[in-house]
Amino acid sequence: MATDPTATTTAKVSPAAPGAEYADTASAAYRNILGIIETVEPRIADATRKELADQRDSLKLIASENYASPAVLLTMGTWLSDKYAEGTIGHRFYAACQNVDTVESVAAEHARELFGSPYAYAQPHSGIDANLVAYWAILATRVEAPGLAEFGAKGVNDLSEADWETLRSRMGNQRLMGMSLDTGGHLTHGFRPNISGKMFHQRSYGTDPQTGLIDYNAVAAAAREFKPLVLVAGYSAYPRRVNFAKMREIADEVGATLMVDMAHFAGLVAGKVFTGDEDPVPHAHVTTTTTHKSLRGPRGGLVLATEEYAPAVDKGCPMVLGGPLSHVMAAKAVALAEARQPSFRAYAQAVADNARALADGFLKRGARLVTGGTDNHLVLLDVTSFGLTGRQAESALLDSGIVTNRNAIPADPNGAWYTSGIRFGTPALTTRGFGADDFDRVAELVVEVLNNTDPAAGPNGPSKAKYAMADGTAQRVHAAAAELLAANPLYPGLTL
Ligand SMILES: *Cc1c(COP(=O)(O)O)cnc(C)c1O
């Protein structure tokens, strides 16, 4: 591990990356922590050290990943983890929850104020859990059945068996409409193998085949026909902004609840890059998110809701969740406090500017992008013009030190496993301090790898996974990537 004591003075410190100012203290803390872990299970201490080295040494372009600050990470490593606190703030099924009450209150307060929401629920353990809480809360609020009207006040535990029987039959046959997986939606938005596609009758909306953009008239027409109870907006791989005011109009017209899943782009909402019609929170009835993607917090979820939906969301535990992860809620509070700093707005703006620089870098080198560009934090490159599958491109890039993930493109000829796209995101490298010129260089390196990669045959003929790279390509690109990484160190000044 590098232990260069001059690292802090030579490092280019991004104004957006928190932690440099307390790097010496964090270094001492981590050295001590790893020393303790070492005495119990050295393989875990080892893997933890190696993970830092690997993250420092690779160009991380996975759109859903980021680097949380040492303050956020250290907050997760405490005895708050040991406390059971099922229930809600001030109303727990366990004794002695006063400190968890403080933790959850502070996290919720920061979330409310940061996003301008009347209510926030900080307990979901992940984005998927946040969506499950939201779906059940929408059902509980919308579906007429005995006991459900009083759900908020009465509590799920007071429903009789007969109430549940009626509930089951009425809750069934509800409809949900979300964005299709191959145009950028998420598996929890009604994809059939996911529970969301089983608990609801589902239909999806896609994008315009010519432009790749959401066609709001088509969404409205589909909604009029299908009449969903829940209209879901939000995405994991759509490289454009969404007009949530229009989505709300459509929802209102057909009597649907608008749920926005901002898991990917919550950082751009928090950083006020998405405002007005592009800010989901004032338009959605219920907004869900992860906290670890562009928001740069710990791995977890959040639900925001209007007054109408808040009482049912607040029953997430015991409806769907068990005991909250108090140590993670504490880290959410720290991350949300960071996101309320002015520097986070500069960070969010840089994330969007950098995505545009990356897209422009691809376009000027002749590559094809889904929708022809980006105006959020991600870029979807169609690799069919390089004669490759997504799987081959992903592997060749990884061999060259560039970490991405393959992703389906609309009407993907290679299906969801091999795919024809590579998804790139800028949140992580922007945290390291990468700027527009650096991202142009990243585009150049990616194109160099793909231009020097060809499909190869397997033992049984043509393969969608096998590939061959021209000699020296991986080494050359690795070296160029190392230069970019050295100029933008991860956790500057942090030494183990
Ligand atoms: C990542 C993501 C999720 C799931 O988050 P997990 O924390 O992995 O459960 C949900 N919805 C969308 C849109 C996502 O991109």
Per cent of the chain over pLDDT 70 is: 93
Query: Residue 14 above 60 pLDDT?
Result: no
pLDDT value of position 460: 84
Residue pair 268/66 in contact (Cβ under 8 Å)? The answer is: no
Residue-wise pLDDT tens digits, 74-100: 999 999 999 999 999 999 999 999 999
Q: Is 261 a catalytic residue?
A: yes
- Write down the catalytic residue from 240, 293, 406, 432: 293
Query: Which residue is closest in CA terms to ligand 1's atom 6?
Result: 127
Cα(181) to ligand 1 centroid in Å equals: 13
Average pLDDT of the segment spanning 409-424: 95
As a whole number of angstroms, the distance between CA 317 and CA 329 comes to: 14
Cα(453) to ligand 1 centroid in Å equals: 32
| Any atom of ligand 1 within 6 Å of the Cβ of 298 | no
Give 319's pLDDT tier (boundaries 50, 70, 90). confident
Average pLDDT of the segment spanning 134-156: 70
| Any atom of ligand 1 within 6 Å of the Cβ of 377 | no
Average pLDDT of the segment spanning 395-399: 97
Query: Residue 3 above 80 pLDDT?
Result: no
Average pLDDT of the segment spanning 417-443: 97
User: What are the residue ranges spanned by the domains of the chain?
Assistant: 80-339, 343-487
Q: Is 109 a catalytic residue?
A: no
Substitution site in 186, 288, 302 for ligand 1 pocket (most atoms within 8 Å of beta carbon) = 186
Listed ranges 159-163, 348-352, 463-467; the one with the highest mean pLDDT: 348-352
Residue pair 318/89 in contact (Cβ under 8 Å)? The answer is: no
Q: Is 384 a catalytic residue?
A: no
pLDDT value of position 156: 57
pLDDT value of position 381: 98
How would you classify the pairing of strands 368-369 and 378-382? antiparallel
Q: How would CATH label the architecture of 343-487? A: Alpha-Beta Complex (3.90)
- Write down the catalytic residue from 170, 241, 299, 356: 299
Topology of domain 80-339, CATH: Aspartate Aminotransferase; domain 2 (3.40.640)
| Any atom of ligand 1 within 6 Å of the Cβ of 127 | yes
As a whole number of angstroms, the distance between CA 298 and CA 125 comes to: 10
| Any atom of ligand 1 within 6 Å of the Cβ of 126 | yes
| Any atom of ligand 1 within 6 Å of the Cβ of 234 | yes
Q: Could you tell me how far CA 27 lies from the centroid of its own chain?
A: 28
Query: Which residue is closest in CA terms to ligand 1's atom 12?
Result: 263
**Angle between the 244-254 and 216-226 helix axes, to the nearest 10 degrees?**
20
**Closest approach atom of ligand 1 to CA 64:** 1
Query: Residue 384 above 50 pLDDT?
Result: yes
- Write down the catalytic residue from 48, 49, 84, 215: 84
Query: Residue 434: CA atoms inside 13 Å, Cβ hemisphere, count?
Result: 33
- Between these two residues, 213 and 20, which has the higher pLDDT value? 213
Query: Residue 155 above 70 pLDDT?
Result: no
Give 18's pLDDT tier (boundaries 50, 70, 90). confident
Residue pair 379/370 in contact (Cβ under 8 Å)? The answer is: no
Average pLDDT of the segment spanning 345-373: 97
Residue 391: what are its φ and ψ, rounded to 5°? -60, -45
Mean pLDDT of the chain, nearest integer: 92
Average pLDDT of the segment spanning 285-309: 98
Average pLDDT of the segment spanning 351-360: 98
Copy the structure tokens of residue 32. Answer: 């001590």
Cα(125) to ligand 1 centroid in Å equals: 11
Query: Residue 151 above 80 pLDDT?
Result: no
Long-range contacts of the stretch 26-35 (C-beta < 8 A, 24+): 26/70, 26/74, 26/491, 26/494, 27/493, 27/494, 27/495, 27/496, 29/70, 29/74, 30/70, 30/494, 30/496, 31/496, 33/77, 34/496
- Between these two residues, 169 and 344, which has the higher pLDDT value? 344
Query: Which residue is closest in CA terms to ligand 1's atom 10?
Result: 127
Report the 10 Å Cβ neighbour count for 472. 9
Cα(262) to ligand 1 centroid in Å equals: 9
DSSP-assigned letter for residue 402: E
Query: Residue 146 above 80 pLDDT?
Result: no
pLDDT value of position 375: 96
Q: Is 441 a catalytic residue?
A: no
pLDDT value of position 157: 62
As a whole number of angstroms, the distance between CA 114 and CA 495 comes to: 33
Q: Could you tell me how far CA 385 lies from the centroid of its own chain?
A: 28
Q: Is 129 a catalytic residue?
A: no
Residue-wise pLDDT tens digits, 172-220: 778 999 999 989 999 999 998 888 888 889 999 999 999 999 999 999 9
pLDDT value of position 153: 46
| Any atom of ligand 1 within 6 Å of the Cβ of 266 | no
Instruction: Give the three-state DSSP class for 431.
Output: helix
Q: Is 293 a catalytic residue?
A: yes
Query: Residue 412 above 90 pLDDT?
Result: yes
